[in-house]
Amino acid sequence: MTKRPLAVIIISCIYIAAGILGIAYHIGGFRTPHPFHFDPLGIAFIRLLAIVSGIFMLRGRNWARWLALAWMAFHTVLGALHTLPEFLMHALLLAVFGYFLLRPQATNYFRGASAKAQGA
Query: What one-character DSSP code corresponds to residue 82?
Result: S
What pLDDT does 83 receive?
A: 93
Please check the confidence at residue 11 and state whether its pLDDT lies above 70. yes
Phi-psi region of 60 (alpha: psi -120 to 50; beta: other; left: phi over 0): left
Mean per-residue pLDDT for 52-66? 97
Q: What is the number of other CB atoms lying within 10 angstroms of the CB of residue 73?
A: 15
- Rounded CA gap, 55 and 117, in Å? 16
Mean per-residue pLDDT for 13-36? 79
- Rounded CA gap, 16 and 33, in Å? 30
| More confident position, 111 or 30 | 111
pLDDT, mean over the chain: 88
What pLDDT does 61 receive?
A: 96
pLDDT band at 118 (very low <50, low <70, confident <90, very high): low
Helices (H), 27-103: 39-58, 62-81, 84-101
